[in-house]
Amino acid sequence: MNVMAKAEKKISSAFIYFFGSFGGILFGYDIGVMTGALPFLQADWHLENAASLVGWITSAVMFGAIFGGALAGQLSDKFGRRKMILMSAIVFMVFSVLSGVSPDMGEASAYYLIIVRMLLGLAVGAASALVPAYMSEMAPAKARGRLSGLNQTMIVSGMLLSYVVDFLLKDLPGEWAWRLMLGLAAVPALILFLGVLRLPESPRFLLRKGDEAQARKVLSYIRKNPADIDQELASIKETAKEERQANQKTSWSTLFSGKYRYLVIAGVGVAAFQQFQGANAIFYYIPLIVQKATGQAASSNLMWPIVQGIILVIGSLVYMWIADKFNRRTLLMVGGAVMGLSFILPAVINWVMPNMNPMTIVVFLCIYVAFYSFTWAPLTWVLVGEIFPLAIRGRASGLASSFNWIGSWLVGLIFPIMTASMPQEAVFAIFGIICILGVIFVKTCVPETRGHTLEEIEDQGTNRGRVKASNPEN
C-alpha cells in the first residue's frame, strides 16, 4: 500500500489532465482515420459500386458506440472509471489490429471488417463517455467549465492527426496503405493504457464504495489546500446522497412527465440535430466528395481532410475564447443558419449556373466546418451538461448520447447510398434543410442556460410544464 501511495503521489495534476485529454485524441483519431483509408480499401476490395457495404464499413464504429457508452457507464459505477478506461484501451488496441489484418476473402472480408469495427465501436463509445467523466471528477470545480472546450480541442486534434497519418501513408501500395492506417490506431490506445496505469481512481467512485481514506489521499495529490479537500469531500457526499434519492424516485417514464418533458426534449433534440445536420458526412467522406465533384481519384485528395482538420482545431480554439461571451442559443442559431446556407447555396447556384466550378461545393463545405467547429460541435455537450435536472440527469444524458450516436451512425451509413442515387448538391441541400430545422428547434424549444444556475434552468422546465398542462391544445 505504501509503495502504491508513493507511486501515486508522484503523479502531477498536469499528468492526469494530459491523459484525460489524450482520451480525446484517441477518440478523434478513430473518427478521422477511415476518411483516408476508405479510398484505398474500396480499390483493394473492388467496392466502388457497393454503396451499402461502404456505408456499413464506415458507420460500424458508430453503431457499436451506441451500446459502448451506455454499457461503460453502468460498468464504471461497479468497477470504477480507471479500470473501465483501461479495459476500453485494451479492446481498442485489439480490434484496431484486427481491422488492419482483415483477411482478403472477397465479399466476406467486408462483413468481417464490419463486425470487427462494431466491436471496436464499443471501446470508442466507452472512451467517449468514460474519459470526460473521469476528468470532471478529478478536476477542481473552477476548471470544469473549460474541460468541455479542451476535450473538443483534443478530439479534433486527434482527427487532424489521423488525417496527417493518412496523407503520409498514401503513397504505399494500396493494400498496405489502408491496413496501416487502421492498424496504427492501436498506438494511441497503447499510450492511453500505459498512462492510465499510473493514474489513481476517481475520488467520487472511492467515496461511493465507502473508501473515504483513499478518496482523501487521492484528493491530496491534486488539491493544494487541505481545507478544499474537506469541503470537496463533503460536497461529493451530499451530491451522491441526492443522486441516490433521485434515482430511487425516478424511472424512464419520469423523463417525459410534464415537469421534465420540455428540458428532455430540448437536450436530446440538440444532441440528435448535431449529427443529423450532416457534419460526419464531410468528415468521413471528403475525399470521395471531392472525387465526385472533380473527377480526381479520391486517394489523391487526402490534403482536403487535413484542411478540414486544421479548420476544426482553429474553430475549437475560437470557441474556448468566445464561450462565455455569447449566449448558447445565439451561437447555435447563427452557426446553424450559416451551416444550412453552406449546404443549400451550392444546389441553388448549380441550378442557376449549371456550369458552376465543381470546387464551389468544397469551398462551401469548408465554411460549414468552420461554423460547426465553434458552435454546434462543442456547445451541444455544454448544453446537455447544463440542461438536465439532477433527478433525471443520468438517464437523460445517456438518452442524449444514444441519439447522438444513432445520428452519427445513420449519416455515415446512408450518405454513400444517397450520393449513389442523386446529385451531391441535392444530398447536401437535404442536410441544409435539417440545419435550418435545427435553428427553428433551438429558437422555439431550447432555453438559454448561460449565466443560469441549474435550479433556474429546472424552474424553466417546471414552469413550461405547468403552462402546457393548463393549455393542452398548445
Q: Which CATH fold would you assign to the domain 251-474? A: Growth Hormone; Chain: A; (1.20.1250)
Residue 436 vs residue 207, higher pLDDT? 436
Selection from 165, 263, 209 nearest residue 463 by Cα: 263
Does residue 188 contact residue 61 with C-beta atoms inside 8 Å?
no
- Report the pLDDT averaged over residues 1-28: 65
From the list 320, 326, 433, 421, the residue with the least C-alpha distance to 377 is: 320
Residue listed under C-alpha cell 471528477: 137
**Mean predicted confidence (pLDDT) in 23-52:** 86
Which residues, 6 or more positions from 194, have their beta carbon under 8 angstroms from its beta carbon? none
pLDDT tens digits along 139-197: 665 665 566 667 778 889 999 999 999 999 988 887 899 999 999 999 989 998 998 88
Residue showing cell 426534449? 265
Q: What is the pLDDT of residues 152-166, one digit of tens each?
A: 788 899 999 999 999
In the numeric block, which cell numbers belong to residue 375?
458552435
Task: Give the span between the Cα atoms of 468 and 73, in whole angstroms.
Answer: 33
pLDDT, position 1:
41
Distance between CA 282 and CA 244 in Å, rounded?
42
What confidence score (pLDDT) does residue 465 get?
Answer: 53
pLDDT of residue 298: 67
3-state secondary structure (DSSP) of residue 104: coil
pLDDT at res. 371: 96
Dihedral angle over CA of 249, 139, 80, 230, nearest 10: -70
- Angle, vertex CA 189, rays to CA 184 and CA 195, nearest 5: 135
Q: Is the pLDDT of residue 446 over 60?
A: yes
**Mean pLDDT on 246-270:** 78
Which of 325-329, 357-361, 394-398, 456-460 is the least confident region?
A: 456-460
pLDDT confidence of residue 8: 44
* Residue 471 pLDDT > 60: no
Q: What is the DSSP string of 192-203?
A: HHHHHHTPPPPH
pLDDT at 387: 82
Rounded Cα–Cα distance for residues 101 and 14 (Å): 36
What's the rounded Cα separation, in Å, for the pair 270 and 266?
6
As a whole number of angstroms, the distance between CA 158 and CA 32 comes to 8
Using CA atoms in the order 100, 102, 104, 105, what is the torsion angle rounded to 10 degrees? -160
Among 447, 443, 442, CA closest to 459: 447
- Find the angle CA(280)-CA(100)-CA(416) to the nearest 5 degrees: 30
* pLDDT higher than 80, residue 444: yes
Q: Which of 14-28, 96-110, 285-299 has the highest mean pLDDT?
A: 96-110
C-alpha span between 310 and 296 (Å, rounded):
22
Between 452 and 335, the higher pLDDT residue: 335
- How far is residue 196's CA from residue 347's CA, in Å, rounded to a whole number? 48
Q: Which residue has the cell 447536401?
A: 428
Whether residue 114 has pLDDT greater than 60:
yes
94 pLDDT higher than 70: yes
Question: pLDDT-based confidence at 432, cuts 50/70/90?
Answer: very high
Residue 303 to residue 160: CA distance in whole angstroms: 11
Task: Write down the pTM of the prediction.
Answer: 0.81
The architecture that CATH gives domain 11-199 is Up-down Bundle (1.20)
pLDDT at 365: 92
What would the mean pLDDT of 257-265 be, rounded to a whole number? 81
